[in-house]
Every structure is written in C-alpha cells, then in structure tokens.
A = this chain, B = another copy of it.
Amino acid sequence: MKIGIIGIGLIGGSMSKDLKKILPDAEIFGFDHNPEHLKTALELNLIDHVGDDSMIEEADIIFLAIPVDAAVNALPDLLGKVKDDGLIIDAGSTKSLICSSVSGHAKRRNFLACHPIAGTEFSGPTAAIDGLYDGKTNIICEVEKTAFKLQEKALDLFAKMGMRIRYMNPEAHDKHIAYVSHLSHISSFMLGKTVIEKEKNERDIFDMAGSGFESTVRLAKSSPDMWTPIFEQNKLNVIETLEEYIQNLQAFKDKLLNNDMEGIYQEMEDTNKIKEILKGIPLNKI
C-alpha cells in the first residue's frame, strides 16, 4: 500500500506515526513546501520517501494536512490525479470551502472531508506525536458523497487510531467549530497581546504569571500560517462568535462598574456548568 502525506507537520506527521503502526507494510511518501521539513521527517522516520507527482497517481491514500487555503487550492488537482480506488482525506479546521471546491468534481467520491479535533500549539514535523488521535473526535462531512468502499477503508483506519466519528454537514461544522475552537484561539491570542502590550518589562510577566495564565494563553503560541486562512475561510461565523464574546465581556465590565457583585457571582456560578460539560470529554490525553 502506498500512502502520501501532504504537509508533514504536527497533523500529517502524527497521522504518519499512527499509519506506520497500523499498516507496517505501507510505504509512506511525504510532501511539504518546506524542504527542511522533508529532511526532518525522513530523519525522524515519519516518512519513507519524499513523494513526487507520479506517486499521487499510484497512491492508495493521500492525507492532506496543509493550511486550509492551500488545501482548497490543491484539492481539485490532486483529486483529478488519483487512481480510481484512490482516497484523499483532508484534515482542515474549516469544511465549507473545501467541500464546495470539489462539489462538482468528477472524482468527488474519492474524497472524504474530515476534521480530526486533535492538535497542540506546536507545529512542524518535530511536533508530531504518537497517539495524537487516540480518543479524539473526527468530524466527517458529506460522508454520502464518498464511495462506500473508501468510507469503509477510512473508518477502519480511524477506528484503529481510537477516534470517535461524528457526521455533520459542512455549514454546521463551521458554525459550531467557530465557538469551540476558533473563538478560543482568538480569545487566547488577544489575551496574550493585551498582557504583552501592558507589560513592556517582560520580567514582570515572568514573575507573576501562574499556571492559570499559561493555560489560558497557551493557544497564542499557535501558528499564524495555519490560523490566518482558517479565520479567513470561516470569517462570518467567527465574527458572530466574537461579537457575542465581546458583548459578554462588556456586560461583565458593566456589572463591575455598577458594583453588581451578585450579578458577577451569578455569571461565574452559571458558567461553572462547564465543569460538567467538560467532564465527559476525552481531552486530557495531550
């Protein structure tokens, strides 16, 4: 079996690690716009070979793990090249544009639109880890548009990686993910920005920051290359979440200004509900 991994960073590299375990006989070919990443991926044994165009045509599976703007650009061409029973799986954090980019494609059935909800704030092949996908949710969109045998093939791999599958249409995916992922990143980036701006003397941050700050600001370490196109593609949903978030912050500030401490207490107590919600989520593995 020949597998191509396009984008051999955290997501692609971790996928490769899992695939090597599940399919020990598979040959894995890596693609990346950064030659250093390919070199590192070979050294780390994430891939067996550097891929070329002819490999795409022979590939049984192509795993596309590049920023979502590049994915939208690359997918129609790639899909045109795969063999009849070849399968392309993507891993983008937005799903509407990627699905519409191939909606009328002659080989649409060779593509499975996925979003494995897994990752860390790090990037590049050195960030790849074993078992990244174990216990994580994989959102599959428009599953009915993928050939049944190829669905089966993908689901078998995902099951072996320990992923739970949820089916959703691309629009619902993009709307919900704006709340639970995209907004978290912006709230974290802007928290980091606010504190950095204020504390010109970094020593003060160093001295007073605790694990609470670290946790809340962790996502502000994320890659702008990955996140700029996500925000661009999911702009309208993200703006809506941002407006609601800003309104809630504003209301909290107004309560403080008005000495409405009962209201402040209530807001926090109501939101403590998040404990129960998070309890059931298998998030703590990374």
What residues make up the interface of A, taking CB atoms closer than 8 Å to B? 117-121, 136-137, 139, 166, 173, 176-177, 179-181, 183-199, 202, 204-222, 224, 227-229, 231-232, 235, 238-239, 241-246, 248-250, 252-253, 256-257, 259, 261, 264-275, 277-278, 280-281, 283-286
Complex alpha-carbon distance, A217 and B173, angstroms = 20
Query: Which partner residue on chain B sits nearest A250 by CB separation?
Result: B246
5 more contacts with CB within 8 A, not counting A176-B204, A202-B277, A216-B218, are: A184-B216, A192-B273, A194-B241, A211-B286, A232-B259
Report copies per complex: 2
Query: Which partner residue on chain B sits nearest A228 by CB separation?
Result: B265
Verify A206–B245 contact, CB threshold 8 A: no
Verify B216–A277 contact, CB threshold 8 A: no
Query: Which residues from chain B contact A239 at a C-beta distance below 8 Å?
Result: 253, 256-257
Query: Which residues from chain B contact A181 at a C-beta distance below 8 Å?
Result: 208-210, 212-213
- Report the minimum CB–CB distance from A118 to chain B (whole Å): 7
Query: Which residues from chain B contact A119 at a C-beta distance below 8 Å?
Result: 210-212
Query: Which partner residue on chain B sits nearest A186 by CB separation?
Result: B252
Q: Which of B220, B245, B272, B280 contacts A191 (CB 8 A)?
A: B245
Q: A256-B235, A264-B228, A264-B231 are in contact. Are A210 and B270 (CB under 8 A)?
A: no
Query: Which partner residue on chain B sits nearest A121 by CB separation?
Result: B212
Verify A246–B249 contact, CB threshold 8 A: yes
Verify A209–B117 contact, CB threshold 8 A: yes
Query: Which partner residue on chain B sits nearest A93 by CB separation?
Result: B210
Verify A212–B191 contact, CB threshold 8 A: no
Q: A193-B270, A242-B253 are in contact. Are A207 and B275 (CB under 8 A)?
A: no
Q: List the 6 closest pairs (A to B, CB-CB), nearest first.
A: A224-B268, A184-B216, A117-B210, A192-B274, A192-B271, A214-B283
Verify A183–B195 contact, CB threshold 8 A: yes
Complex alpha-carbon distance, A177 and B199, angstroms = 11
Q: Which of B193, B196, B253, B265 contacts A246 (CB 8 A)?
A: B253
Of A183, A190, A283, most buried by chain B (CB within 10 Å of CB) is A190
Q: Which of B121, B211, B278 contacts A283 (CB 8 A)?
A: B211
Verify A256–B238 contact, CB threshold 8 A: yes
Verify B208–A137 contact, CB threshold 8 A: yes
- Report the minimum CB–CB distance from A110 to chain B (whole Å): 26
Query: Which residues from chain B contact A280 at a C-beta distance below 8 Å?
Result: 206
